[in-house]
Chains A and B, each alone.
Chain A
Amino acid sequence: MTMTPKITLQDGPPGEQIKAQISGLIATNELPSGAPLPSVRQLARDLGVATGTVASAYRDLQAQGLIVLRRGSGTRVADGATPVPHEVVQQVRKLVTVARENDVALGDVAGVIHTLWRD
């Protein structure tokens, strides 16, 4: 039985979270090329946000070449969509594994990445 990929909203702007989480799922291939996505209205209802928020997030993802919006055939992950190179994803996977083994919280890891990114 395959698991349906999910997104969960936490604190922060919902539109940014929707974009970040869908990008992440595409990067890790949990949403492979051609995978169907829910309609704007359905996703907005499920997440409890305005349809405009989801529509805006979908438009940005389309502009990045990650998804394809087609009237009639619905929204799908674009062919060959790769927001992050495969090697980076592999290294992040390793980082997540090590952080979990050492009981380091996601926020702390993100803080370290933010700091290092600025260096």
Chain B
Amino acid sequence: MYFYFLIYVPPVLGALVALAVAIMRGRFTLFRVGSAGFFAVASAIVVIGLSLLAMGLWPVIRFNDIFLDGVMTLSFTPLILGVLGALIIAFTPTPKSNGTAELMPRSGLPSEPRSWFNSVLLVLLLILLTSLWAGELSSPDEWGLYRIFKIEPNATFMVGSSFYGWYYSKWAVLIIVALLLLGVWRLQRIRNGAGTQDTRRAFNRVILAMIAGALLLHLAQITTSLSNAGALQASALIDNGYYTFQSSLAAMTIPLRWASYLLKLLGWAAWFTVLFSPGPAEELDEELA
């Protein structure tokens, strides 16, 4: 029950948070969901489905025989869906002319809305730091791949668990770079398009929210992996005594777990911001004009 709760509650709460913010900011318009919004909902269903499969909780038992690398599935799915979502958004129209122009030159990469732009930068920094931390704590498995967290009290006794080590983070870097390049390309297209600053801000928000959501959900999974490593224990009978060995991250288990819950909630809230923002549709120009 607890695991079902972990899978279903963050997307639902995140959607509610995004809806509340959209209503408070006066952005929510019923039945104005664009292609990116539909993708956000479809992606949430995909993430939930894969999470159930990866954790062996899929309601139809025979599908539980499918083996999925849990760490890879849970941490890479948001990033891959983020890339697909960014691709969809990247090819949607940019703001069109409504006969009004601001007499101000535009140069450089747009950084508006500032809060979303800074959020993406902050999450990137946190991903870098946690990935380095996890990478340093990871150990090679029997194939030499750094994807194990070990408790190794002595040379003859070791307990290990799958873990977000270098093996995963090096692939994540490639997907994150692809995600960021798509984002930069979209922001450049919006900058070079027509429309007033408010229109461009609204368009920028959609792509930045999609990227922030994907990165936050990925960071949540790194944090979950660290937290799981903290909860790992090894018990053994040594010299007629029964010993329990704690993980080097034991003290961090609870804070990391709560951090992962919070990051998941924020990630889904960002993801559903795409749904509850006016889609990058052509009518947006008229609405904001």
A residues contacting B by CB (< 8 A) are 4-10, 22, 25, 31, 35-39, 42-43, 45-48, 74
Contact B192 A48 (CB under 8 A): no
Question: Considering the complex of A and B, which 5 residue pairs feature the smallest CB-CB distances, nearest first?
Answer: A48-B97, A46-B101, A9-B99, A8-B100, A4-B102
CB-CB under 8 A from A37, the residues of chain B are 103, 105
Whether the pair B105, A39 counts as a contact (CB closer than 8 A) is yes
Q: Which residues of A contact B96 (CB under 8 A)?
A: 48
Residues of chain A within 8 A (CB-CB) of B105 are 36-39, 42, 74
Q: Which residues of A contact B103 (CB under 8 A)?
A: 4-7, 22, 25, 31, 35, 37-38, 43
User: A45 contacts which of B100, B104, B192 (Cβ < 8 Å)?
Assistant: B192
State which of B30-38, B126-134, B193-201, B254-262 sits at the interface with chain A. B193-201
CA distance A42 to B99 in the complex (A): 13
Q: CB within 8 Å of A: which of B192-229?
A: 192-197
- Known pairs A6-B100, A37-B105, A45-B193. 6 more at Cβ < 8 A? A7-B100, A8-B100, A9-B99, A43-B103, A46-B97, A48-B98
In the bound complex, residues from chain B placing their C-beta under 8 Å from that of A45 are 97, 192-194
Who on chain B is nearest to A17 by CB?
A: B99
Which chain A positions have C-beta within 8 A of B97?
Answer: 45-48
**In B80-104, which residues have CB < 8 Å from any A CB?**
96-104
Instruction: For the complex, give the distance between the alpha carbons of A48 and B95 in Å.
Output: 11
In this assembly, does B25 line the interface, its C-beta being within 8 Å of a C-beta of chain A? no
Alpha-carbon distance between A43 and B102 when the two chains are bound, in angstroms: 8
Residues of chain B within 8 A (CB-CB) of A47 are 97, 99-101, 194
Chain A residues, Cβ within 8 Å of B193: 45
For the complex, what is the distance from the CA of A63 to the CA of B97, rounded to whole Å? 28
Known contacts A8-B99, A9-B99: does B104 contact A46 (CB below 8 Å)? Answer: no
Q: Are the CB atoms of B104 and A7 closer together than 8 Å?
A: no
A6-B106 in contact (CB<8A): no
Give min CB distance, A35 to chain B, whole Å.
Answer: 8
**Nearest A-chain residue to B95, judged by Cβ:** A46
A25 surroundings in chain B (CB, below 8 A): 103
**Considering only CB atoms, which chain B residue lies closest to A35 in the complex?**
B103
Q: Is the CB of B99 within 8 A of A6?
A: no
CB within 8 Å for A38 and B104 given contacts A46-B194, A46-B195: yes
Rounded to whole angstroms, the CA-CA distance of A39 and B97 in the bound complex is: 16
Q: With the chains together, A6 CA to B96 CA distance in Å?
A: 16
In the bound assembly, the distance between CA atoms of A74 and B104 in angstroms comes to 11
Select from chain B the residue with minimum beta-carbon distance to A21: B103
